[in-house]
Structure 1
Amino acid sequence: MPTVPAPPSPPQKISYCTTCKNRLWQLSDTLPDNLRRAEEAGDSEIVLVNYNSDDELDTWIRRFQHCIDRGILRYVHEQSEPFFHASKAKNLAHLAATGRYVVNLDADNFIGDTIPAWRALWAEEPDLLIRGFSPNADGRLDPGNGSYGRIGLPRAHFDALGGYDEQLLPMGCQDSDLVDRARAYGLHVVRVPQQVPFAIRNTDDEKVKHTGSPLSWLDMWHQNIERAQDNLRRGRLTVNHDRVPVKVLVNFTRWMTV
């Protein structure tokens, strides 16, 4: 008798993890399209962390209550931190996610039409770490074009690595540190290009505006790269062993510790 091919595996849920601290002016452009893409793809969610933003985000997001009700949007409100810290905020979004795969999606980034391609890669190699990027005209990656932080990996591996290193200063190098630790941990890393639309470009001053630090983005980056290099030298691939869980309000209705 002819061999009957096995039915295709159902798609695994992907969580796109976004943080916002007074970036509603960007999120108002990116979120509607990202929600549409997640809904069209199915088995996808946007996890949005309001990192104690004071730009009316909490009011504006209620127009997407229907997405919250249907599980397309998971809204996480951190209400105590006065200043933005990229690693801490990103960890909240990833730890509050419900998907098998977690993808960092900065508030100024668009998912675009990438979901089927990433899902196909994970179907073929489930433990893959994918780095999305948008190339310049010459095909090379520009770390300053806003697409550098699109990183997707299995949630189980994100947890094993301890997530983003919260010992880093608020901005700079947190994305490359995670990828380098993941590669040293044994994950295969691939780059996947994404054409426009991809991101709204920020200045370095905008990146550090709400961190509460007198340091420039470049100063933070220089100090953070030393910590990141030390992580690799010491074999410190898992970080945040003493991380204190944070209490957040989820979907306006219940408190959760993540």
Structure 2
Amino acid sequence: MPGSPGRISYCTTCKNRLWQLTDTLPDNLRRVTEAGNSEIVLVNYNSDDELNTWVRQFQSHIEDGTLRYVHEQTEPYFHASKAKNLAHLAATGRYLVNLDADNYIGDTIPTWRALWEEQPDTLIHGFSPDKNRKQRSEEELVRVRPDSGNGTYGRIGLPRTRFAALGGYDEQLLPSVHEDQDLMDRAAADGLSVVRTPQPGPAAIRNSHRETMRYSGIPLDWWDARELNKERSAENIRLGRLTANPGRSPVKVMLNFTEETEL
């Protein structure tokens, strides 16, 4: 039966993206504070752009539970799947939403809650149409995959139990590109209902492909990395390997500036 969806955790990661968080995080914290029964989990993936100092201004949000701050202090390069898994593992909500550092929550919380109240066992994919392409009707927009450069893939929410059953993001993928689509494809192959919903208004700060790969530490461009990750993802799904990261080892982090823990 439909019911309250419970607490929602918005899971954000950052490696030298403070220039984006200065715009997105204050607004996103305001949104979860106003909505109630929700939080933001922010992973500092060994960022060296003063993020650790800047985020201390939000100590009151840490204290009231609207912000959980996770600091990974050893990895030299950004690995999207590993960083996103840390954020999701640190979350306390019944529903976990990947929210990239360049993304805004906007006015979406009531809509997503209503969807989960109606269909609790659902993956929600929030997206924005590419303003530089020919405008499609709303019916067309919910069917087709959106442009990968407009921040669309930054908003994916699903039940915590389903995320855990899938093993989270696949940490064997190359560091950046296609990890979100892989998670959605494995979830759909596992029988999870997928609902796509558009987001009105500004949704994300647009990144270049070069920016996406900037801290990955691999000598591949975005296109080559995407093709290799797509091949791995398709092979796993073809063989029914839907659960990622068997035998994953916990990672040591600092939580909320004071607590050493493993995730």
TM-score (norm 1): 0.95
User: Among residues 188, 201, 206, which one is paired with 1:201 in the alignment?
Assistant: 206
Contact 2:99 2:154 (C-alpha < 8 Å) held by counterparts: yes
Q: Which residue of 1 aligns with 2:183?
A: 178
- CA offsets, 1:87-132, max 9 Å, x none? 0000000011000000000000000000000001101111000000
Q: Which residue of 1 aligns with 2:14?
A: 20
Q: Which residue of 1 aligns with 2:25?
A: 31
User: Among residues 80, 96, 102, which one is paired with 2:90 in the alignment?
Assistant: 96
Corresponding position: 1:218 with 2:233: no
1-structure distance, mates of 2:73, 2:60: 23
Mapping for residues 57-136 of structure 1, pairs under 5 Å: 57-136=51-130
- CA offsets, 1:45-66, max 9 Å, x none? 0000000000000000000001
User: Among residues 241, 244, 253, which one is paired with 2:258 in the alignment?
Assistant: 253
Comparing 132-141 and 230-239, the one that deviates more: 132-141
2-structure distance, mates of 1:105, 1:65: 21
Q: Which residue of 1 aligns with 2:169?
A: 164
Mapping for residues 135-154 of structure 1, pairs under 5 Å: 135-137=129-131, 138-139=135-136, 140=141, 141-154=146-159
One-letter amino acid matched to 1:49: V
2-structure distance, mates of 1:196, 1:19: 23
User: Among residues 54, 63, 66, which one is paired with 2:48 in the alignment?
Assistant: 54
One-letter amino acid matched to 2:79: H
Contact 1:135 1:195 (C-alpha < 8 Å) held by counterparts: no
One-letter amino acid matched to 1:16: Y
1-structure distance, mates of 2:120, 2:82: 26
> Partner of 2:171: helix, strand, or coil?
coil
> Partner of 1:148: helix, strand, or coil?
helix
Q: Which residue of 2 aligns with 1:188?
A: 193
2-structure distance, mates of 1:101, 1:255: 25
Q: CA deviation at 1:10?
A: 4.5
Q: Which residue of 2 aligns with 1:239?
A: 244
Instruction: Report how many residues are paired.
Output: 252
What is the root-mean-square deviation of aligned Cα atoms in Å? Answer: 1.3
Contact 2:18 2:51 (C-alpha < 8 Å) held by counterparts: yes
2-structure distance, mates of 1:232, 1:178: 11
Q: CA deviation at 1:136?
A: 3.0
Comparing 103-112 and 11-20, the one that deviates more: 11-20
One-letter amino acid matched to 1:246: V
Q: CA deviation at 1:253?
A: 1.1
One-letter amino acid matched to 1:145: N
One-letter amino acid matched to 1:93: A
> Partner of 2:163: helix, strand, or coil?
helix
Contact 2:96 2:160 (C-alpha < 8 Å) held by counterparts: yes
Runs of 4+ in 1 over 6 A off after TM superposition: none
Unaligned runs of 5+ in 1: 1-5
